[in-house]
Chains A and B, each alone.
Chain A
Amino acid sequence: MILVGELSLWVALLMAIWSAVTSFAGGTMGRDDLVISGRRGLYATTAMIVLASLGLWTALLTHDFSLRYVASNTSANMPKIYVFAAFWGGQAGSMLFWALILALYSAIAVWSIRGRARELAPWVCGTLAAILVFFIATTCFKANPYDRLAFVPADGRGMNPQLQNPGMAIHPPTLYLGYVATSIPFAFAIAALVSRKLDAEWLSIVRRWSLVSWFFLTIGITLGMWWAYVELGWSGYWAWDPVENASLLPWLTGTAFLHSIMIQEKRGMLRKWNVVLVVTTFLLAIFGTFLTRSGLVESVHSFAQSPVGTWFATFFIGATGATIYFVTTRLKDLEATAELESMVSREAAFLYNNLVLVGIAFSVLWGTLFPVLSEWVRGTKITVGPPFFNTVNVPLGLLLLALTGVGPLIAWRKASTSNLQRQFRFPVLFGLSTGVLLFALGMRNPHALVAYTLAGFVAGTIGQEFYKGIGARHSMHDESIPLAALRLVARNRRRYGGYIVHAGIVILFCAFAGLAFKRDHDVQMKAGDTKELVDPLGHRWRFVSQGVSTSETLNRFVTAVGLEVWRDGIRQGIVTSEKRQHFDSNKQPQFEPSTEVGIRTSAALDLYIVLAGVRDETAELRISFNPLVVWVWIGGMVMAIGGLIVMWPQTERRRAGGYVATLEPAPRAELAATR
């Protein structure tokens, strides 16, 4: 199976080349036989990539340490789940995994348009095959998981201890699912530009795939934050590391697109802008990958120094050049069919939202690249860390939060003063009340106060929208409130799913603002020692050390300290934090010691205990009180659920012809024809 897998990888490369060439040729010459051949080539590529992947999984699970990848990323004593997850745990495997997802997505995308979108099909297939060629070639020539060692070691090195975490087993696949899904809208955009078929058909397909990408990126980013929080022991979940920034960039532009596409669907506007956002999202996914795998910027990531950077740079430049060419030569085909009527309208609000989202994306990209720029210009290495990103992005984030509440309140086309007064009254009052209440309760941090006031405003907006909708159904159809709520969402998935996403955003911002009240304490404790600390909410905590213990388990030595925890005189249980030294089958230490954080979660705050080290039976600990952290994960989940609702196909509307340009004024000629 391993040999079959290795062979399949090379066959996949040839099949992908064939598919790209025949599809492009078929599209250019208008020959259906070539187009069909190209499509079959893509299916064959997918089959070959699946075989190559099965081969690597077989090698991993059978501990074939003759393969460098298997020896470098697994060991015989690793839990099976992490041996399975090692497929994407290293550079070469992750490249193959990327190719696997891309091949599967491509096959689904091409299969889903069979028999329709005839003008687009060859270019979609060709573009996807071309992207596949790049990824398979990079895997074959620069990061081949089937490369063999000159000798067969008795055991492998094992996987990074930090990666041996359930979050890390799920986080990379979901993130890759999101990254790779950006390829499909890109392929459709290129196909639409090349064939000049820039009508509603490509747009509806692109929207669906963009939602898929957004959905998985949202889950992937949230899981990444969770993994960093529970595994890395630094008591935070976002550090503005280039790897994190790379995942945020396509999410931001993808989010902007999902808003602006509504304007094109409703009004036929922003056609150029939407194409730009679609291709930019894909290019940012590639550029982000280049950034994190080229060593261009420093990152807390093992991929930082790798040989694939040059290939990614070349691909990025090529794809960008081709995209710029096609966009600039098709500008006339992308003229809007309608114009904006008022700067106080929902269209305009979406545009402001787009401006801020793209502005944040730019500032993140700028901050990530600024150290490189500084070194080029001044020859001086500098660091652009969280203080910089927070300075630049916090105000923009708050502005975005405000716009999240403003957009749904403004009518399409043109909002009247009375409409604005009626719509804004409750949300504004609710937001202000929230701020005043928190101030009265003693909150003085200005950023947090602004954030919670705006969160209250947006929550008021969402609540008002649901209240009106449910009330209307309740009175019109005589439905119970729960049934009315359920049907309201089910019958208007895009709108109310979107509001649920907004609710997730509100929860996230509230959780982020909670960090302003975080408290850390460095303590040393011997067995029997007691420490008393006060959390940001004024609760008194007592910690009684149970002493340091050592043990040995499956693949690690463990040094642990247990603390008996009391809050306001009530016993909360024992919280344990560990240092782990992983070893191989010969009990030889592998990797640096890793930390297992002790976390006790509640709705208000997390108690977060890190064992920094042990000296003379004295445990050195950092005890942190992290307010509202659990709401980051809940907010992420709510966003994902909202995204899922939005994505879910709506049969009635699909039959009715989709959402395209429902508010677009009928062209004059058409009006005349109806008379």
Chain B
Amino acid sequence: MRRRDFLSRVVLGGVAIVAAPRLGGQVVSPPAGDAAPAQGTTSNLFDMNQEAAKTVRRPAKPGAVPSMTDDARDVLEHDIRCQCSCTLDVYTCRTTDFSCQVSPAMHRDVMSLVDGGYSAQEILDAFVQTYGERALMSPKREGFNWAGYLVPSVALAAGAAGLVVVLRGMQRRTAAIDAERRGDLLVNPATPEEHARLQAAIRRDD
């Protein structure tokens, strides 16, 4: 059998074995959410949990007055994560395209706590108490979370230190070679061809 014949039979046989059950006849059931509209429970881009909002309310402090301005409240909402699975903060999510019902609910809780006289930290703590640490847009600076903040800096510092060590080693070796080369050049000065090559290299430099 010629190689070309062998190849064509192998290819056709392989195709027949692998693909035959799949061609034309085989069908798969429509997976949930694939052919059917996804109303109410999913956003257009990701699996949204519209039921994720929990109540974060506290009784107003005696003689409470709003603890912060609207601008300060907006800043605070940038530190609280919406729980609809969008990965955005409450302030941002409220008006995004995700049609979220969770962030408006969380926003109402924030307003209620602000009106109740609670400080920014107390409000954050209240949200953490209800939702856990994932209510915050960035991890608290404590315990294991310090690794999150410090490892990049430590790695960069280690890299910089390593680089300095390597560069110094290189520099020393170069200095040694240069010294040797200088001695060599005293005995054998450069030829005109070498000068020409050097000039060409300098012109190409930069």
What residues make up the interface of A, taking CB atoms closer than 8 Å to B?
Answer: 3, 6-7, 10-11, 13-15, 18, 68, 71-72, 144, 146-151, 153, 156-157, 160-162, 231-236, 239, 241, 298-302, 304-305, 339-343, 348, 351-352, 355-356, 358-359, 362-363, 366-367, 370, 373-374, 377-378, 380-388, 391-392, 396, 412, 495, 520, 522, 584, 588-595, 610, 612, 622, 662-663, 666, 671, 674-675
Q: In B3-23, which residues have CB < 8 Å from any A CB?
A: 7, 10-11, 14-15, 18-19, 22-23
Contact A592 B98, beta carbon cutoff 8 Å = yes
Which residues of chain A have C-beta atoms less than 8 A from B65's C-beta? Answer: none
Give bound CA distance, A153 to B29, whole Å. Answer: 12
Give bound CA distance, A380 to B145, whole Å. Answer: 11
What residues make up the interface of B, taking CB atoms closer than 8 Å to A?
Answer: 7, 10-11, 14-15, 18-19, 22-24, 26-31, 34-39, 42-48, 74, 78-79, 81, 85-89, 91-99, 132-139, 143-145, 147-149, 151-153, 155-156, 159-160, 163-164, 167-168, 170-171, 173-174, 177-178, 188, 191, 193-194, 197, 201, 204-206
Give bound CA distance, A120 to B160, whole Å. Answer: 35
Which residues of chain B have C-beta atoms less than 8 A from A144's C-beta? Answer: 22
Minimal beta-carbon separation of B56 from chain A (angstroms):
16
Give bound CA distance, A341 to B137, whole Å. Answer: 46
Given contacts A382-B139, A593-B99, contact A300 B87 (CB under 8 A): yes
Given contacts A234-B96, A384-B139, contact A340 B167 (CB under 8 A): yes
Minimal beta-carbon separation of A243 from chain B (angstroms):
10
A348, A370, A592, A674: the one within 8 Å of B148 (CB): A370
Give bound CA distance, A522 to B111, whole Å. Answer: 14
Given contacts A68-B28, A592-B44, contact A374 B167 (CB under 8 A): no
Contact B34 A72, beta carbon cutoff 8 Å = yes
Contact A359 B152, beta carbon cutoff 8 Å = yes
Contact A339 B44, beta carbon cutoff 8 Å = no
Which residues of chain A have C-beta atoms less than 8 A from B88's C-beta? Answer: 234, 239, 300
Further pairs besides A15-B11, A592-B48, A592-B98: 11, Cβ < 8 Å:
A6-B22, A14-B11, A233-B96, A301-B46, A343-B168, A359-B159, A381-B133, A385-B87, A388-B139, A392-B153, A666-B197
Which residues of chain A have C-beta atoms less than 8 A from B206's C-beta? Answer: 412, 495
Minimal beta-carbon separation of A522 from chain B (angstroms):
8
Contact A396 B156, beta carbon cutoff 8 Å = yes
B74, B143, B171: the one within 8 Å of A341 (CB): B171
A149, A232, A299, A666: the one within 8 Å of B28 (CB): A149
Which residues of chain B have C-beta atoms less than 8 A from A342's C-beta? Answer: 171
Given contacts A385-B81, A385-B138, A592-B44, contact A150 B30 (CB under 8 A): yes
Given contacts A374-B144, A377-B144, contact A6 B149 (CB under 8 A): no
Contact B132 A380, beta carbon cutoff 8 Å = yes
Given contacts A68-B28, A339-B173, A382-B134, contact A162 B97 (CB under 8 A): yes
Contact B28 A150, beta carbon cutoff 8 Å = yes
Given contacts A239-B88, A622-B95, contact A148 B74 (CB under 8 A): no
Q: Output the nearest chain B residue to A612 by Cβ-Cβ distance.
A: B95
Contact A594 B15, beta carbon cutoff 8 Å = no
Contact A595 B96, beta carbon cutoff 8 Å = yes
Which residues of chain A have C-beta atoms less than 8 A from B137's C-beta? Answer: 383, 385-388
B26, B134, B152, B194: the one within 8 Å of A381 (CB): B134
Contact A232 B149, beta carbon cutoff 8 Å = no
Give bound CA distance, A262 to B71, whole Å. Answer: 49
